Amino acid sequence: MRVMRTCKEMGIKTVAVYSTADKESLHVRFADEAVCIGPPAGKDSYLNIKSIMAAAEITNADAIHPGYGFLSENAEFAEICADYKIKFIGPSPEQIRQMGDKITAKETMVAAKVPVVPGSGGLITDIKAAKKVAKEIGYPVILKATAGGGGKGMRVVNNESEFQKAFETAQMEAGASFGNDGIYMEKFIEEPRHIEIQVAGDQYGGACHLSERDCSIQRRHQKLVEECPSPFMDSKLRKRMGAAAIKATKFINYEGVGTVEFLVDKHKNFYFMEMNTRIQVEHPVTEESMDFDLIKEQIKIAAGEKITGKEYLPRLHSIECRINAEDPDKGFMPSPGKIETFYTPKGHGVRIETHAYSGYTISPFYDSMIAKVITYGRTREEAIAIMKRALDEFIVVGIKTTIPFHRKLMDHPDFISGNFDTKFLEKEKLV
Ligand code: MV4
């Protein structure tokens, strides 16, 4: 729906694809045409490249917008689109691959002179050698899966006696989750903030950045709240991080919008973590803060337009709360089912993204996010005040949601002061 809104504004006709589980979803009604691509399970529909290509062929589509999740960072899919002469709205298969493998991504950033966390500098093949490097950089260290991202196959190692076992578990978890058990090591950055820079690059090597998003409020590597600008940011740090992100973008001739993720320590040192080669869930805070349509930019870049190359700075403060069909009182257990009443907040400073409505059934097959509440104001205080009243105004009857969790978070002194890092939700008894 987000993509189709911009397409309509640009005079572009749209085709929705849907699984049988999503027959009643709003995106099916919003599109000019809709094609059913299979049964509920992802592998049979939204991950089924053959069905999707068939839908594109029969509707004579010029381009595919991959959204986020599913095939949005699948190099093989981008390759098949190219074979079919259908424009994949996003980077090239090579660029997706280069950033998809985390060791390759890190090596690329070293070559681009973007700061990275010191570590094994590649795959760990010899535990004895890795332990020696760990001693040099100093414990704690963190082991990560090269095929990973988002926390799976990650282990923190506090001292040498823990190394062997941590390495074996990380390797096993990575092998089971990704079919690739490659592990690398980094110095563990204590109490980091997760700050990411939104970038855009065109087909001619031009690139710009659109400031940052702070995504430090996470639970088990799932982001819950994002904001732009970061309360931790100052114009000097933004210049340094922005320049590093543009260096990364230009170095790989990146085409499309993307995100360069950094870990930032309390001394404002920043380190490249990963690059996301898709539009992200949290993109609306950038759009509202900067008054800039990122989907329009994606489509223009895909159509061969040049970006203007200027730097975009935050004008308003914007915050997003992800509303999930989960019960925060029961460890965020999924809560699918029929929504009897769904009334979304409205009014000045509020933007809602959702596919749900009164009478809609949240299926258990997919991600539990059912809505995003985005607020914006002239200051962070104003954005928080609007968020509080918006969350109070949101009525969902029939399923449990994370709305009460967000409402409590908005009253937490450390959230209000901006004094939080990625450990915040583990330390606080909010969840
Ligand atoms: C780290 C780190 C500390 N030091 N790397 C978590 C997900 C994955 N993308 C990378 N992650 C981390 N990498 C080093 N060298 C701490 C984390 C981390 C984290 C990062 C961002 C947001 C939330 C997090 C929660 C726990 C750990």
Q: Is the pLDDT of residue 429 over 80?
A: no
Same structural domain, 77 and 125: no
Based on the domain organization, do 181 and 203 belong to the same domain? no
Residue 156, domain CATH: 3.30.1490.20
- Gap from CA of 354 to ligand 1 centroid (Å): 29
Domain stops at, among 161, 187, 213: 187
Residue located via tokens 């040192």 = 269
Which residue's alpha carbon is nearest to atom 18 within ligand 1? 422
- Give me the domain span that covers residue 144: 118-187
Residue ID of nearest Cα to ligand 1 atom 15: 188
Res 424: pLDDT: 83
Percent of the chain with pLDDT over 70: 99
431 has a pLDDT exceeding 70: no
| 153, pLDDT greater than 90 | no
First to last CA, the chain: 31
Strands 361-362 and 341-343: unpaired
Using CA atoms, how far apart are residues 248 and 431, in angstroms rounded to an integer? 36
What spacing in Å lies between the alpha carbon of 155 and ligand 1's midpoint?
10
Q: Are residues 301 and 339 in the same domain?
A: yes
Distance in Å, CA 148 to ligand 1 centroid: 12
Residue 416 CA to ligand 1 centre (angstroms): 23
What are the Cα distances from residue 300, in Å, to 174, 203, 260, 277?
Answer: 37, 11, 21, 16
Domain count, the chain: 3
Atom of ligand 1 nearest to the CA of 422: 23
Domain boundary among 158, 187, 216: 187
In a domain, residue 108? The reply is no
pLDDT of 311 over the 90 cut: no
**230 assigned to some structural domain:** yes
- Is residue 109 a part of any domain in this protein? no
Residue 148's pLDDT is what?
Answer: 87
Residue nearest to atom 5 of ligand 1 (CA): 188
Q: Is residue 15 part of a domain?
A: yes
Angle at 413 between CA 409 and CA 419, to 5 degrees: 95
Answer yes or no: is 102 within a domain. Answer: no
Decide if 179 is inside a domain: yes
Counting ligand 1 atoms within 8 A of each CB, the residue from 221, 223, 266 with the most, and so the one to mutate, is 221
Structure tokens at 12: 């572009």
Task: Give yes or no for residue 150 having a pLDDT over 80.
Answer: no
Task: Name 404's Cβ contacts closer than 8 Å, sequence gap at least 6.
Answer: 328
| φ and ψ at residue 150, rounded to 5 degrees | 75, 20
- For residue 18, what is the domain's CATH number? 3.40.50.20
Interval 27-48: pLDDT, tens: 999 999 999 999 999 999 999 9
In a shared domain, residues 89 and 27: yes
Claim to verify: residue 401 and residue 294 sit in the same structural domain: yes
Closest Cα to atom 6, ligand 1: which residue? 151
Distance 30 CA to ligand 1 centre (A): 38
**Predicted local distance difference test score (pLDDT) of residue 317:** 98
Global pTM reads 0.96
pLDDT per residue as tens digits for the range 198-227: 999 999 999 999 999 999 999 999 999 999
Question: 240-282: per-residue pLDDT in tens?
Answer: 999 999 999 999 999 999 999 999 999 999 999 999 999 999 9
Residue 220 is among the residues annotated as catalytic for this protein: no
Q: Is the pLDDT of residue 415 over 70?
A: yes
The verdict on 226 and 84 lying in the same domain is: no
Beta-carbon contacts of residue 87 (< 8 Å; ≥ 6 apart)? 62, 63, 64, 81, 302
Task: List pLDDT tens digits, range 274-299.
Answer: 999 999 999 999 999 999 999 999 99
Same domain assignment for residues 181 and 198: no
Q: Do 244 and 179 share a structural domain? A: no
> Do 282 and 393 belong together in one domain?
yes
Question: What pLDDT is recorded for position 160?
Answer: 97
Helix axes 75-83, 93-100, angle to 10 degrees: 170
Condensed to tens digits (0 to 9), the pLDDT of residues 340-380 reads 999 999 999 999 999 999 999 999 999 999 999 999 999 99
Q: Domain ends where: 127, 154, 187?
A: 187
Q: Which of 37, 41, 32 is nearest to 8 (CA)?
A: 32
What CATH number did the domain enclosing 208 receive? Answer: 3.30.470.20
Active-site residue identified among 193, 278, 378, 380: 278
Is the bond preceding residue 345 a cis peptide, omega within 30 degrees?
Answer: no
Instruction: Tell whether 273 and 374 lie within a shared domain.
Output: yes
List pocket residues of ligand 1, CB cut-off 6 Å: 117, 142, 149-151, 186-189, 192, 194, 218, 221, 263, 273-274, 422
- In the numeric block, which tokens belong to residue 170? 């990380």
pLDDT band for position 321 (50/70/90)?
very high
**Residues 335, 203 within the same domain:** yes
Q: Is residue 304 part of a domain?
A: yes
Q: Is 198 found in the same domain as 173?
A: no
In tens, the pLDDT along 77-95 reads 999 999 999 999 999 999 9
Task: Report pLDDT for 423.
Answer: 83
305 has a pLDDT exceeding 90:
yes
Tokens linked to 284: 């609306």
Residue 416's CB is within 10 A of a number of other CB atoms, namely: 15
- 105 inside domain: no
Question: In this predicted structure, what is the pLDDT of residue 421?
Answer: 87
Nearest atom (ligand 1) to Cα of 274 = 9
From CA 360, how far away is CA 421, in angstroms rounded?
36
Q: Which amino acid, residue 83? A: D
pLDDT at 428 exceeding the cut of 80: no
